Amino acid sequence: MSRRAEGRGGRGPDVPDLVARARAGEARAVARLISLVEDGSPSLREVTAALASHTGRAQVVGVTGAPGVGKSTSTNALVRALRDDDRSVGVLAVDPSSPFSGGALLGDRIRMGDHALDPGVFIRSMAARGHLGGLSWSTPQAIRVLDAAGFDVVLVETVGVGQSEVEVAGLADTTLVLLAPGMGDGIQAAKAGILEVGDVYVVNKADRDGAARVARDLRSTLRLADRRDDAWAPPVLTTVAQTGEGVGGVVEALAEHRAWSLASGELTRRRERRARAEVEAIAVAALRRRWADVGGHAELGRLAAAVAAGESDPYAAADRLLHPEP
């Protein structure tokens, strides 16, 4: 890292300089900003403030599905198709965490090595670090970095943990759900919640037996959904991501959903919900830090003992703790 990025006198990163370099397309500056986000740097508030006015242009696409459906291969194929369409792409691939280092365990950058030297592509593996929902806690801020850096599309690939991956729907402008033959029946898909969150459905590995049936069953199930007449009707597409077959149709569907979202106002509604959730999460985290020392408070011990003995109830005890008597 350059001396400029560290700031004068070693007082930490020069955030305005990093942001300016990231917006100029410097990959090192983008990576440094994401590292500050992941590490929960003291400069995070300054980073977020500096990025705010430069965001809102990128299409954020969540790529989710059960393990084994080919998320990384599909993401790689999507990057290639988007680059053929002359669009720049940022990729956040959220991987399981190492139980020892806490870092990303699989490293999707290895599996997307085809794009390593392309200046129009930036790929970052992020560790889930125990966060449920198939994402990392820092994913929203990392998306903001890539958006401000000028990428046309930001692909967010979830960790692949099964039934808890639907959180990506609250983070993305468009949610792409991947399925594959042999990965379970429609009931399993419904249990995972993916039939409620997808904007585009893709049956990958369409060259395998059973793919046509999976697509047919999925279309039939989606037709039963209670949707308004003006609501988006999620398409069901088939691909062989390994060869690129059908991927062009997926890119077209993403563009169509983007156009519909803009025209209908859905994009604004989703982004406002996303911002509301992010503000709420930051406020709750601040409150938790403020109350971090309450666990050792003598009054809490006395109130807990009273609740355990049946002399008080937990709501009354919480009220007493929040509003102590003078």
> Residue 89 phi/psi, 5° resolution?
-135, 130
**What is the arithmetic mean of pLDDT over 135-142?**
74
Does residue 241 register a pLDDT over 90? yes
CA distance 146 to 40: 17
Convert 64-83 into a string of H (helix), E (strand) and C (coil).
Answer: EECCCCCHHHHHHHHHHHHH
What's residue 175's pLDDT? 93
What's residue 133's pLDDT? 42
Tell me if 33 sits within 8 A of 145, measured CB to CB.
yes
Nearest to 183 by CA among 175, 168, 194, 196: 194
By DSSP bridging, strand 200-203 and strand 59-65 are: unpaired
Nearest to 305 by CA among 296, 317, 292, 320: 317
What's residue 158's pLDDT? 83
What's residue 65's pLDDT? 85
What's residue 105's pLDDT? 43
Amino acid at 87: R
| 214 half-sphere exposure, CB direction, 13 A CA radius | 26
Residue identified by tokens 């599309």 is 153
Tell me if 130 sits within 8 A of 38, measured CB to CB.
no
Q: pLDDT: is 176 or 292 the higher one?
A: 176
CA distance 314 to 121: 52
End-to-end CA separation in angstroms for the chain: 54
What's residue 292's pLDDT? 67
CA distance 158 to 165: 7
What's residue 197's pLDDT? 83
What's residue 207's pLDDT? 95
CA distance 287 to 30: 30
For residue range 38-83, what is the model confidence (pLDDT) as tens digits? 888 899 899 999 999 999 999 999 998 888 889 989 999 999 999 9
Both tokens assigned to 237: 């597409």
Count of other CB atoms within 10 angstroms of residue 96: 16
**% of the chain residues with pLDDT over 90:** 50
Q: pLDDT: is 293 or 84 the higher one?
A: 84
The DSSP letter of residue 96 is: P
> What is the overall mean pLDDT for the chain?
82
Radius of gyration in angstroms for the set of CA atoms belonging to the chain, rounded to a whole number = 23
Tell me if 104 sits within 8 A of 125, measured CB to CB.
yes
DSSP 3-state of 273: helix
Amino acid at 37: V
For residue range 164-211, what is the model confidence (pLDDT) as tens digits? 456 777 889 999 999 999 866 555 555 456 677 889 999 999 999 999
CA distance 324 to 30: 48
